Amino acid sequence: MSPTRVRFAPSPTGALHIGGARTALYNWLLARGRDGAFVLRIEDTDRERSTAENVEQILESLRWLELDWDEGPYSQHERAPRHQERLRELVEAGYAYPDPATTEDVKTWKQEHGGAGYRGEASAGDGAAVRLRVPDEGETLVEDAIRGEIRFENRLFDDFVIARSDGSVLYNFAVAVDDAEMEITEVVRGDDHLSNTPRQLLVMRALGVEPPRYAHLPLLHGPDGGKLSKRHGAVSVEALREAGYLPAAVRNYLALLGWGTQDDTTLIGADELIERFSLEHVGRSAAIFDEQKLRWMNGRFMRELPLDEYERRLADHLSRNDPEAAERFELAPLERRRAACEIVQEKAQTLDEVWRLVRFLFEDPVDDPDAWERIMTPDSRPLLAAALEALRDSAGFDPAAIEQALRAVVERHGAKPKQVFQPIRVAITGTTVSPGIFESLAALGREETMARIERALEPVAPG
């Protein structure tokens, strides 16, 4: 058996799609699990849509996911001279031929031959495309590691074009040449490429090279069963990063989209994924990408982070997405930053959500008129005033002491906890959502808590 060599070959026509990221992950897991090589090849032959910015965004997405590659990134476009050499070899050997037939010519020929695959004749004229000679009989067999044997009748294939009349080669020819010359042993990709596989096998047969083994992954769908698209939420790695997901959680979730662990294990680190992953346990049905499940998993990973790592991840996220917030966070005392992370760690599911929950510790309360109108009613004034006095008189200002003081107010006034706690929450944050109220007050500190509640009491008309 040759050493495992797999490749990930994205087209740089946009951001790295979640489906592409899963393909990259599966290839990476195979390479790492077998001490093989993970080759990165950029299929940039579409010169109008391929941009350097898209290439860099794909590379950055892979780096963020911590999917390191062993070779590359190779540019398919830059390999054009080698493609031309192999093309000439096939023409000289008679496995391919120039043919000036137009689309209409091919259509007419097929009608005259009962719908059989088009077979042309070599022509030395200018303006001819180059076609591969396809056998008239027999089958091209795709032995798929996920789908089993898939047979294609050769007689139904046209002698298909492998190079345009201007000499530039087409996708299936370039891919076949590159996979052969990079000694790829397994091609793992989405099943939208399945129809390309027999053509690439026919090219490799003509080249006289041993083809790789193939595995075609089922595509990803949204929770509604439709093809995954922007209507389902974040569909690119870049969007997930901006939303505050952790790379470890994204890797874990993507790995489980179509692959099963056989024992219902859900949270799996990179080392265990490498050890356990195999194509044999990838299913044939479309996998469902549900961002709500990813959020849950990300929350679990975030709760496992050491506090200093949690703080670092939040600082990095803010620096990338909200420089003003990042500056306020970084200028705050270390104790305040740590306290913020500690009170939110059990609640937040993404890094983006963390800042929304703890920003009250680093800036004035937000202006949320709806929260003020619904919660800060005239009836809330006596309860809020009583809470202020209880907090001012509390012997301590840790969460336990704060809880004792505020629950005494609830009991003394015969109120529901929410009637006391929500006005306090609005007073200190400006919103109705925060980490635990006792922990939030302790992190804010007695002096600032008093000042904010006093300010909140001023505009509330007596009941």
Q: Quick one: how far is CA 411 from the chain centroid?
A: 49
Cβ-contact 38, 27 below 8 angstroms: yes
Chain position carrying tokens 């088009």: 118
Cβ-contact 345, 307 below 8 angstroms: yes
Cα–Cα distances in Å, from 86 out to 206, 212, 271?
Answer: 10, 18, 41
Strand 186-190 and strand 213-217: the pairing is parallel
Cα–Cα distances in Å, from 56 out to 43, 65, 112?
Answer: 13, 14, 50
What's the CATH architecture for 78-217?
Answer: 3-Layer(aba) Sandwich (3.40)
What would the 3-class secondary structure string for the chain be? Answer: CCCCEEEECCCCCCCCEHHHHHHHHHHHHHHHHCCCEEEEEECCCCCCCCCHHHHHHHHHHHHHCCCCCCEEEEECHHHHHHHHHHHHHHHHHCCEEEECCCHHHHHHHHHHCCCCCCCCCCCCCCCCEEEECCCCCCEEEEEECCCEEEEEEHHHCCCCEEECCCCCECHHHHHHHHHHHCCCCEEEEEHHHHHHHHHHHHHHHHHCCCCCEEEEECCEECCCCCECCHHHCCCEHHHHHHCCCCHHHHHHHHHCCCECCCCCCCCCCHHHHHHHCCHHHECCCCEECCHHHHHHHHHHHHHCCCHHHHHHHHHHHHHHHCHHHHHHHHHCCHHHHHHHHHHHCCCCCCHHHHHHHHHHHCCCCCCCHHHHHHHCCCCHHHHHHHHHHHHHHCCCCCHHHHHHHHHHHHHHHCCCHHHHHHHHHHHHHCCCCCCCHHHHHHHHCHHHHHHHHHHHHCCCCCC
Q: Whose CA is closest to 27, among 193, 185, 197, 148? A: 185
- At residue 175, what are phi and psi to the nearest 5 degrees? -65, -45
Domains 78-217 and 369-457 fall in the same CATH topology = no
- At residue 24, what are phi and psi to the nearest 5 degrees? -60, -45
Structural tokens at position 68: 């390191």
Q: What pLDDT score does 114 carry?
A: 87
CATH of domain 5-75+220-293: 3.40.50.620
Cβ-contact 99, 121 below 8 angstroms: yes
Q: What are the pLDDT digits (tens) for 28-45?
A: 999 999 999 999 999 998
Q: Whose CA is closest to 220, among 17, 30, 54, 11? A: 17
What's the CATH architecture for 369-457?
Answer: Orthogonal Bundle (1.10)
Cα–Cα distances in Å, from 153 out to 120, 134, 260, 380?
Answer: 18, 10, 34, 78
Q: Is 230 a catalytic residue?
A: yes
Q: For the chain, report the end-to-end CA distance as a whole number of angstroms.
A: 83
Q: What are the pLDDT digits (tens) for 370-391?
A: 998 899 888 899 999 999 999 9
Q: What pLDDT score does 225 carry?
A: 82
Q: Where do the structural domains in the chain lie, given as residue ranges?
A: 5-75+220-293, 78-217, 305-361, 369-457
Selecting among 230, 347, 416, 418, the annotated active-site residue is 230
Classify residue 379 by burial, with Cβ atoms within 10 Å: 0-12, 13-18, 19+.
Answer: middle
Query: What are 144's strand-pairing partners?
Result: 148, 214
Q: What is the pLDDT along the chain (463 residues), one digit of tens a residue?
A: 689 999 999 999 889 999 999 999 999 999 999 999 999 999 998 878 889 999 999 999 999 999 999 999 999 999 999 999 999 999 999 999 999 999 999 999 999 988 889 999 888 767 799 999 999 999 999 999 999 999 999 999 999 999 999 989 999 999 999 999 999 999 999 999 999 999 999 999 999 999 999 999 999 998 888 877 666 666 899 999 999 999 999 999 999 998 977 666 789 999 999 999 999 999 999 999 999 999 999 999 999 999 999 999 999 999 999 999 999 999 999 999 999 999 999 999 999 999 999 999 999 999 999 998 899 888 899 999 999 999 999 999 999 999 999 999 999 999 999 999 999 999 999 999 999 999 999 999 999 999 999 999 986 444 4
